[in-house]
């Protein structure tokens, strides 16, 4: 049965792969973008997730075209890496506001219609950094760890209404975000990955689509790693 899917930050990287996966499965897919829209395959709406009004407008546009959002993938995210003593308060707040509060805003906007339809899937894209920490990512890891508590609390609130809330925790995935890492930092991370390689955005997309599917209806409050074993044990 086709569903209406909204992927935030779906114009590139992991979000784009997720949107393509749902499209391939026959769903009605919308993505949000902040800078440039992806090519014309999906309904694309401009939305900065740090702005509640833009989120409301984006959901309204998707609802008007495709119907209520039944599957929300909260993927939009940023890094602003610095060692603790060089990190300014704005750099901490900006990352929390985009990654964590942005996800909360989207879930809050999506929820009433999911409750009314008595079916829904919310998937938050977190990170292995939120589980095991990462040097220079106090802000990012805090935002991604926060998603776990948020998802599990919400999962408990809505579990009897046919709505699941889960988290995927990617490891090192080849996108623009990791292309920005220095060669040394990347090879340090790579050396730690039991699978011996970085992941592809499609690896994450498959897991998200499974969590959002009919067959995963009894999976909620889970944190699913997609990391080649990097975060094992956390």
Residues within the interface to ligand NAP (CB under 6 A): 8-9, 11-15, 33-35, 47-50, 75-78, 98, 125, 127, 170, 172-173, 175-178
Residue 160 CB, shortest distance to ligand NAP, in Å, is: 29
Residue 31 CB, shortest distance to ligand NAP, in Å, is: 8
Biggest CA-to-CA distance, the chain: 51
Cβ atoms 33, 9 nearer than 8 A: yes
Residue 217 CB, shortest distance to ligand NAP, in Å, is: 24
What's CA 72's distance to the chain center, in Å? Answer: 9
Q: Edge-to-edge strand order for the sheet containing 120-125?
A: 43-46, 28-33, 4-7, 71-74, 120-125, 163-170, 223-226
Which pair of tokens denotes residue 27? 């769903």
Decide whether 38 or 221 has the Cβ nearer to ligand NAP.
38
Decide whether 120 or 130 has the Cβ nearer to ligand NAP.
130
Specify the residue for token string 């009919």: 214
Cβ atoms 18, 75 nearer than 8 A: yes
Residue 16 CB, shortest distance to ligand NAP, in Å, is: 7
Q: Which of 17, 107, 140, 144 is flagged as catalytic? A: 140
Decide whether 44 or 111 has the Cβ nearer to ligand NAP.
44
H or E element, residue 5: strand 4-7
User: Among this protein's residues, is 218 annotated catalytic?
Assistant: no
Name the DSSP class of 214.
G
Decide whether 127 or 164 has the Cβ nearer to ligand NAP.
127
Which pair of tokens denotes residue 53? 């009004």
- The bridge status of strand 120-125 relative to strand 28-33 is unpaired
What's CA 43's distance to the chain center, in Å? Answer: 18
**Which residues are known catalytic residues?**
140
């Amino acid at each position: 049965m086709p569903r209406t899917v909204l992927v935030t930050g779906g114009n590139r990287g992991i979000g784009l792969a997720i949107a393509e996966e749902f499209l391939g499965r026959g769903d009605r897919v919308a993505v949000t973008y902040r800078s440039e829209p992806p090519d014309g395959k999906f309904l694309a709406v401009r939305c900065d997730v740090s702005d509640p009004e833009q989120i409301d407008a984006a959901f309204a546009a998707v609802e008007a075209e495709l119907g209520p959002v039944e599957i929300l993938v909260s993927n939009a995210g940023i890094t602003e890496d610095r060692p603790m003593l060089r990190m300014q308060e704005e750099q901490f707040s900006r990352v929390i506001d985009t990654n964590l509060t942005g996800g909360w805003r989207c879930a809050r906007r999506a929820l009433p219609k999911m409750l009314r339809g008595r079916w829904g899937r919310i998937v938050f894209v977190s990170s292995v950094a939120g589980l095991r920490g990462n040097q220079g990512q106090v802000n990012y890891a805090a935002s991604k760890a926060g998603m776990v508590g948020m998802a599990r609390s919400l999962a408990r609130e809505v579990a009897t209404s046919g709505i699941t809330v889960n988290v995927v925790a990617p490891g090192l995935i080849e996108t623009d975000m990791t292309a920005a890492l220095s060669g040394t930092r990347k090879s340090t991370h790579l050396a730690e990955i039991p699978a011996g390689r970085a992941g592809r955005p499609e690896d994450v997309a498959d897991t998200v689509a499974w969590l959002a599917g009919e067959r995963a209806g009894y999976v909620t409050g889970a944190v699913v790693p997609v990391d080649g074993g990097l975060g094992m044990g956390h």
